[in-house]
Amino acid sequence: MPHKAANPEYIRQNYQYMMLSKDLEENIYIFQVLLKESSDVVFREFNIGDKKVKGFLMYIDGMIDKFVIDRNVLRPMMIEARKLDEVTYTKKQFFDYMKDYFITACDVKEKDKIGDILDGILEGDTAVIIDGIDKSMVISTKGWEGRNISESTTESYVRGPKEAFVETLRINTSMLRRRIKHPDFVIENLKIGKYSKTDVSIAYVKSIADDTVVQEVKKRLKKVQIDGVIDSGYLEEFIEDNPFSPFPQIAHSEKPDKVSAEILEGKVAILVDGSPFVLTVPVIFAQFFQAGEDYYERYFLASALRVLRIIAMLTALLFPSIYIAETTFHQEMIPTQLAISVAAQREGVPFPALLEALFMEVTFEILREAGIRLPMQVGQAVSIVGGLVIGQAAVQAGLVSPAMVIVVALTGIASFAIPAFNIAITFRLLRFIIMIAAGTLGFFGIIMVVMMILAHMASLESFGVPYLSPLTPSRAQELSDVLIRVPWWAKILRPRTIQRKNIVRQEDTRG
């Protein structure tokens, strides 16, 4: 063949810009060059009706719904077309006729660039090329096996919707759409990743969300140039405001109810194909202490639990440090009886309190890490061994004092009481820094590090929203959703820290 397309090397480099030719053989050759090494690509040649017109069909096995191809593409073209009378269509018209009268699949696009067709195939579409026509029908036949919608494992409720996002983007968007049935609810699509070409969706309500935030999210997402996006965690790191901060500046959730509630507050959700975790921006610190269930249970209880979570947060962050500081520097602060008992317990312990605490905390972290990664059956064994090691043996061996066991156990449990896992890990990490400060400088050190952390938090921003708002800069009205959860009928306004253009959440019906 004299055509340039004969050269496979040329094809591989320029397929993006090449057009389909009218010659079916040549088209087949081009696609075979591009895809022949993959065993999961199916090429199917067939005759249309009894007109002896040759057709050619391509798809990737496993990505498509075979039933759709069988019944809505192949069957009409091969069998139904036989009923055609002797009509003399030009080849051009024949293509449109096929598309308009025979293909019964609902989503059919005309494509004439090789690159576009190839992209379609790789996404799970089926391409049909007819001899003598330099256009192809790309029929949406996506259909692959996915996980069923099931209960969330990371966020579990007693009361409230149980369903959680799955790995399939369209199912995820449908779960959101089912909750927000309004034309203003927009789901925009993007493709990120040079090789992975991952579908990423941005979801927001046009009339609520702050435009600047939406634009900023799009701008930041478009800047991401990476080989592949496997999970939303990749994007989180690319688009957050301060990548060097230990604090998460983007929230993620597995629960459609939580995400849609946030969208209704004016936030922007970022959904990534293949990830059941949906990102939402902007985010404020107080949000990490709000469990979805708070809004479904009675508000007294929810408010009390919030206070409890704050206490748990402080415990997880500071309890070991306070213990260390008090036993090494500020013994006068412990009640006498307790001090004597602690002193007696520590009598045989060879390490200073700091080392003792670090030893125990690290042991605990190892156990925790092992317990998460291991299969369930082995995990139980780990927890039994861990319980024995921490609870009994370490004390009896004189490595640690019983009081320290209580401190570490309480700290560990407290860190589990924080509903957002990502902020809990932050505290886990910061705890060690504060512990070292407490062991070297006592309360002075604790206060120094805590003030450094606070200063850092005050300087953080998430998509233009100050991280510590509404505490600082303070908005008295919005404090109603920080430490306490006011009843729904009292939530007249949406949080103004997140957006300002449409702040009325409900009519004030209380008269």
Q: Write out the residues near another protein by the rule CB under 8 A.
A: 327-329, 331-332, 334, 336, 339-347, 349, 352-353, 437, 440-442, 444-445, 448
Q: Which lies closer to another protein via its Cβ, residue 238 or residue 444?
A: 444
Written as one string, the DSSP assignment of 399-414 is: SS-HHHHHHHHHHHHH
Q: Which residue has the tokens 């579409």?
A: 125
Kindly state the smallest distance separating residue 460's Cβ from another protein, in Å.
21
Kindly state the smallest distance separating residue 302's Cβ from another protein, in Å.
40
Q: Which lies closer to another protein via its Cβ, residue 306 or residue 346?
A: 346
CA distance 190 to 171: 17
Q: Which lies closer to another protein via its Cβ, residue 8 or residue 352?
A: 352
Kindly state the smallest distance separating residue 340's Cβ from another protein, in Å.
5
Kindly state the smallest distance separating residue 479's Cβ from another protein, in Å.
35
Q: Which lies closer to another protein via its Cβ, residue 19 or residue 344?
A: 344
Contact in structure between 9 and 34 (CB atoms under 8 Å)? no
Q: Which lies closer to another protein via its Cβ, residue 339 or residue 457?
A: 339
Q: Which lies closer to another protein via its Cβ, residue 393 or residue 448?
A: 448
Q: Which lies closer to another protein via its Cβ, residue 156 or residue 341?
A: 341
Sign of the alpha-carbon dihedral angle for 277, 282, 283, 287: negative
Kindly state the smallest distance separating residue 401's Cβ from another protein, in Å.
9
Kindly state the smallest distance separating residue 428's Cβ from another protein, in Å.
22
For residue 137, list its beta bridge partners.
110, 128
Nearest CA to 273 out of 328, 339, 191 is that of 191
What are the C-alpha distances in Å from 265 to residues 245, 341, 468? 25, 52, 17
Kindly state the smallest distance separating residue 316's Cβ from another protein, in Å.
23
Kindly state the smallest distance separating residue 390's Cβ from another protein, in Å.
21
Contact in structure between 316 and 424 (CB atoms under 8 Å)? yes
Q: Which lies closer to another protein via its Cβ, residue 337 or residue 509?
A: 337
Q: Which lies closer to another protein via its Cβ, residue 205 or residue 438?
A: 438
**Tokens, residue 220:** 């930041």
β-pairing verdict for 126-130 and 108-111: unpaired
**Tokens, residue 316:** 């997880």
Kindly state the smallest distance separating residue 409's Cβ from another protein, in Å.
20
Contact in structure between 122 and 97 (CB atoms under 8 Å)? no
What letter would DSSP give residue 391? I
CA 117 to chain centre: 30
**Tokens, residue 89:** 């269509």
Helix (H) / strand (E) containing 118? helix 114-123
3-state secondary structure at position 370: helix
What letter would DSSP give residue 504? B
Q: Which lies closer to another protein via its Cβ, residue 265 or residue 326?
A: 326
Q: Which lies closer to another protein via its Cβ, residue 401 or residue 480?
A: 401
Kindly state the smallest distance separating residue 246's Cβ from another protein, in Å.
18
Q: Which lies closer to another protein via its Cβ, residue 104 or residue 341?
A: 341
What letter would DSSP give residue 136? E
What are the C-alpha distances in Å from 61 to residues 32, 40, 125? 15, 5, 10
Kindly state the smallest distance separating residue 413's Cβ from another protein, in Å.
24
From its phi and psi, is residue 475 left (phi > 0), alpha (psi between -120 and 50) or beta?
beta
Q: Which lies closer to another protein via its Cβ, residue 301 or residue 344?
A: 344
Q: In what order do the strands lie in the sheet with 136-139?
A: 41-48, 53-60, 126-130, 136-139, 108-111
Kindly state the smallest distance separating residue 172's Cβ from another protein, in Å.
45
Show Cβ contacts of residue 102 under 8 Å, excluding neighbours closer than 6 positions: 76, 77, 80, 81
Can you give the three-state secondary structure of 205-244, one letter per residue?
ECCCCCHHHHHHHHHHHHHCCCCCCCCHHHHHHHHCCCCC
Class of residue 402 by CB neighbours under 10 A (exposed 0-12, middle 13-18, buried 19+): middle
Kindly state the smallest distance separating residue 324's Cβ from another protein, in Å.
10
